[in-house]
Chain A
């Protein structure tokens, strides 16, 4: 049984004499009461009967009795069963607790009498522009035509327009999320309404306001969630969204770049940043996790997000079984999943334009140097070829060691084996890993380790360190002879590497890093590192070690390799050799690999082409004695490589040779794949565009296609919800068959088509809405109106609701004149009480609240930590980003009251407002009261309101005068500190006005969009 208030949709004005409308009247009954057992889900269908399609209902189930005989309710089994007095026969079965009401049965009867016509669910058919209803005013705004007609049909009418100051504030809060100053209210009354609208649409503040709505559905956060809940750098994606709204990026483009920006031709840095959208999922790095399990959880989250944010479909219902109500099979769920499942979880640096320029100039200067040396040595290609031939002909044969067991001594990490026998370490960053193998060990003379890059590692790795770097303390090789329990450690000698950093000793005298000798020196405090510095850091490396004598062990001897690390390696491969001298080619491992790859193509062109690779050419230059000055120039250029200030989590499609198949998961369990699933889209939705690539980019284009029945509707509905508080469809996350049929469905469809016809422009739809009379109505409500339409479903009055959390905060700081506008940038740390900070699983030691102007940035920029939701945003219903949130609830609680009364930033806003009023508001309390009121509510106060404030001021002044209150403490928070007061203003005034300002900030009217 559903709790009544939880599902209550208030039904008003349903025209009693109307025909039975399948969409509005019948489908909801079937969906709610019948389709769980008699719907699209074939596996769980009972009695073989389906009622979601007409032919099924007419055919009947296993009993072969038609459930419906059109025109003849009394011959219809369905009616007999829903009216049956026999509990055994009655449908729905009493045990389901979903009985039909008499009115519902009557509806079904009338529908069958009328012929039992089925229609496809409205939202799965593309929207059309219905002709505008004719209304009294010939030139009515399209929105008003629809709403006016619906109201007129119900003998109702729109409310009068809101007074200009109220309307001005409404417009400011809706368009830019910041309240108007009194001057702006005055200007609003002077200039045309449309001019104000255009000015606000063009404001940078517009993007900051509207980005937040997308951030909700995109589950944006500044931390990873789960346990340690570590910080992530994702704010460049947030700024991308702000910029996209400010530039009014077409919504289809907006989606394509976020789903598959990396796959666009010549993808730009912003387009790659855009794919951070799907990466906003939580990331689990708890010790001992199986990384693939939680990658799958991220994938499920992305599917959920796509459903809520873009398609308005409850996609996650089909993760475990075919959807019970909507035409989405489990197979189709994994078909969509497959489009998203073939990407690396990448992290890359984000460079500023300036840094980008420096990087380009470095490449340019290297090219210049290399061109110069080439021109100085016309026959260089022969020498180069001789050198590269020597590298690829290096005589040592390395045989990769295939793991039969992988693990970590600590148990914190579970490495996995890749197809090339390398091993990948995702999940927790641990201090050790081991590999057990049973290769033929006869005659083995040495071992090699390659540290390798991978798309899932930060900056491609090879390490898991902050920069994608790594540091290995010790490499140990053990053997276990057959029948003997104990492992025997082999003595490793002659460590060599393609590259090592120079020795760097720490002050403690023990810790040291750099040379490869540290790899097998038996000292834990020393490490081998091979960071080639900025720009060349994320390259593979190799090291080799020798045995004192070739191995002579019995067959069946097992091998164990152990790495202990200071900074974890993310991917590596171990090999063995039986050659006489376990050596490495005398060049960078990456260069040697490139030369080998060129040789393996068998094409002379490829071998020539590789010479033009600047890294390869530089490697050769290092071997030519007379070019060392030129090599020094190149190294000097690299030394100028910028260290980026931030990075981004994003997607990169996997390389063709490393494609990841997608499997149907039995009951949605990550570790129970049954069969492979090719990427495909649900049959009930629009067709796949002919010739589109079957990859993430093709999918993005499909999502953003004009033919999509849902994409535009969902976007327009979200805009409507942001402005009116409730969408035209109340459930923005669910346009499926169980969602209510919107009373203004034709308006939603009209606007959706209009949206697409106008280049998917958000600003167009917003302009369209705010220029309607429906929007401009007063939100005042009469008892009669409240009785008739308590929830304003018919839109016979303007929107009125408590503003979103961010707006409430921005309004307070804006009224105070403290709000500091600066577009974009890293998140700003808000003050949070110690007793909240201390109950993090891992204490966020970076939590130093912003001071100065940053402290008063817009709430959009506040740091969002998933496991410690911002206490103020939280009590005002801001989501914390665990999952996509398409619709905020709006609570009204004492905890919220306490936050707005007492939380430090709100208190600082009250003090700031007091000083502003004293500074700017005139010389008398009466003038100041008017000014303060206008700052908070945009309008002038009534005399009763003035009196209330004045008597509060008098009361406060008297108590300060009598010594009951310390004016400095009230006005500054410090009982010894005086505020910076304008001339002629006393501390007593400041204290009294701080109290009054705090009252004004807490007024319902200030907290509310009227």
Chain B
């Protein structure tokens, strides 16, 4: 019934190696008496310890470049000459049946794509002219043109694609991943979040732990001030005083441990030691001075201290190099209800080069083989115009996401939308299917990755989702 390998493996490790340690006595989901053996129970000492996957994994880690606000698939990834031809005409009545856009009356004129498309790479992937760098890695990409979701407003849709549910309170994809595979980072959290531009509609719940223990939450690293909250010592306290203070804490807690006997104190000891090490490792991580100018240029990092998407892409690579399992970037800029042409162009300028550079860099360092890179937002945009002639509304019937790296079929365009980029025509990929597929690549069976909460075995994919074979190498 239980995965014996996992529990044995875990109990053999020492607690102090871990980044996160926690009290096993309180946080557990429950199980009826008699269903578990003692050894399994002991495995709860250290939940984020590395654990074996369900099956052989193609990938060990994920970098999710989340494009919040919903990028226009029609300006970036989904070439629709027919839409250009029918610019200004009303959409066919039959496709509007039961359809709901967010802002506009769906019966609004069609709006032709704003940019030219061309074929790239050996695979001949069609991409917009505003993505010249992405075009260069076309043969590494798996472009999904047939993504679908239910939600049509930003906050619920972001929560949907990040947690598998429109309702708040569920664990995020990153949290599920750490829950499933544990963390391999010795001195950093397993799930790190980097934000550029502004905060997202979904807020902290986009990378939260939901009903999982707090240790599975994404930890934001920050571009200004302390990279990790409260990392700096208070004014006047230098490294030596800090060390002396922590030595005193360790001695006093050690005395408590002897007297009280509570193993939780060991966990506290190691948490404080890890905190001390983080005071060195986090600034070192964030300090780009050991990167070459060529690397900075490749990513398009102009000011190494500015919290741009480009810098965050480079930091993502540094994080995975240090064993971080899940890195998620949030870049909330893509909500082009108006100013579509200039807005998409600017956003592409800010994201195209660093995203492509990240993939190329990972590849060159041999990391792309077992790292999945995901690029995309929470839904797509309407083929119909919003406002005058330079905006698009929210659209959940189709949108595009690209994947690259570990186990992903490279150099393919998956699925087709109809001539207007409105509905999926072939090979739909629902958000749940994307989650199922990504978990599969990580060696996890989405139907078996469950957490018992309130008597129910919850999954990232709820009761839905199928692995999409067409996305697999």
Contacts and interface: CB of A to CB of B under 8 A. Distances in A.
A8 B28 contact: yes
Contacts of A314: 454-456
Contact of B455 (A97, A731, A834, A1005): A731
- Most chain A C-beta atoms within 10 Å of own C-beta, residue among B180, B215, B275: B275
A659 interface: no
Interface string A155-169: 000000000000000
A129 B345 CA distance: 72
Contacts of B448: 1, 97
A738 interface: yes
Given A892-B22, A999-B249, A959 B34 contact: no
B412 to A, nearest CB: 30
Nearest to B44: A5
A519 B33 CA distance: 72
Interface string A861-894: 0000011110100110100101100000111111
Nearest to A4: B40
B169 interface: yes
Interface string B232-257: 11111110110011001101110110
Nearest to B260: A780
Contacts of B36: 4, 7-11
Contact of B1 (A99, A869, A882): A99
Interface in A905-920: 907, 910
B302 interface: no
Given A227-B154, A287-B103, A326-B455, A9 B235 contact: no
A286 B230 contact: no
Given A288-B102, A288-B153, A959-B241, A28 B261 contact: no
B6 interface: yes
A898 B235 contact: no
A750 to B, nearest CB: 20
Contacts of B297: none
A965 B235 CA distance: 10
Given A284-B155, A802-B264, A893-B271, A833 B226 contact: yes
A419 B265 CA distance: 64
Contacts of B259: 780
Contacts of A956: 241, 244
Interface string A83-111: 00000000000000111110110010000
Contacts of A767: none
B271 A740 contact: no
A934 to B, nearest CB: 15
A834 B222 CA distance: 10
B40 A969 contact: no
A964 B213 contact: no
A894 B235 contact: no
A894 B202 CA distance: 26
Interface string A19-32: 00000110111011
Which of B22, B155, B189, B386 has the most chain A CB within a 10 Å cutoff?
B155
A898 B274 CA distance: 10
Interface string A955-985: 1100100001111111101110000000000
Contacts of A840: 198-199, 203
A471 interface: no
B264 to A, nearest CB: 7
Contact of B25 (A307, A783, A790, A877): A790
B111 to A, nearest CB: 15
Interface string A780-802: 11110010001110000000111
A590 interface: no
B354 to A, nearest CB: 19
Name which of B105, B203, B451 has the most chain A CB atoms within 10 A of its CB. Answer: B203
A1 B450 contact: yes
Interface residues of B, number: 119
A839 B225 CA distance: 13
A841 B35 contact: no
A300 B167 contact: yes
Most chain B beta carbons < 10 A, residue from A297, A835, A868: A835
A304 to B, nearest CB: 8
Contacts of A841: 198-201, 203, 332
B223 A835 contact: yes
Contacts of B223: 835
B263 interface: yes
B229 A898 contact: yes
Interface string B13-32: 00000011111111111111
Contacts of A103: 34
B2 interface: yes
Given A3-B6, A10-B36, A893-B271, A730 B256 contact: no
Interface stretch (A261-269, A439-447, A629-637, A943-951): A943-951
A302 interface: no
Contacts of B27: 889-891
A289 interface: yes
Interface string B188-228: 01000001001111111100100001110001101111101
B62 to A, nearest CB: 19
Contacts of A7: 28-31, 35-36, 452
Contacts of A229: 203
A892 B231 CA distance: 16
A901 B229 CA distance: 11
A618 interface: no
Given A282-B168, A1002-B249, A970 B225 contact: no
A104 B1 CA distance: 11
Interface in A771-825: 779-783, 786, 790-792, 800-802
B112 interface: no
Given A9-B30, A786-B263, A2 B452 contact: yes
Interface string A587-603: 00000000000000000
Contacts of B38: 10-11
B455 A944 contact: no
B274 A894 contact: yes
A644 interface: no
Contact of B233 (A29, A282, A902, A996): A902
A11 B229 contact: no
Contacts of A104: 34-35
A429 interface: no
B2 A883 contact: no
16 contacts: A1-B448, A7-B31, A7-B36, A11-B41, A225-B168, A314-B454, A317-B455, A411-B104, A868-B199, A891-B27, A894-B275, A902-B232, A910-B234, A952-B245, A975-B235, A995-B241
Ranked nearest first, the 8 interchain pairs of A and B with the lowest CB-CB distance are A411-B103, A867-B203, A28-B32, A969-B236, A5-B44, A889-B27, A970-B236, A738-B455
Given A739-B455, A902-B230, 11 more contacts: A4-B3, A32-B32, A284-B153, A286-B155, A314-B454, A726-B25, A731-B29, A734-B454, A893-B20, A952-B248, A970-B241
Interface of B: 1-3, 6-7, 10, 19-36, 38, 40-45, 47, 51, 54, 100, 102-105, 153-156, 166-169, 179-180, 189, 195, 198-205, 208, 213-215, 219-220, 222-226, 228-238, 240-241, 244-245, 248-249, 251-253, 255-256, 259-265, 267-268, 271-272, 274-275, 278-279, 332, 386, 393-394, 448, 450-452, 454-457
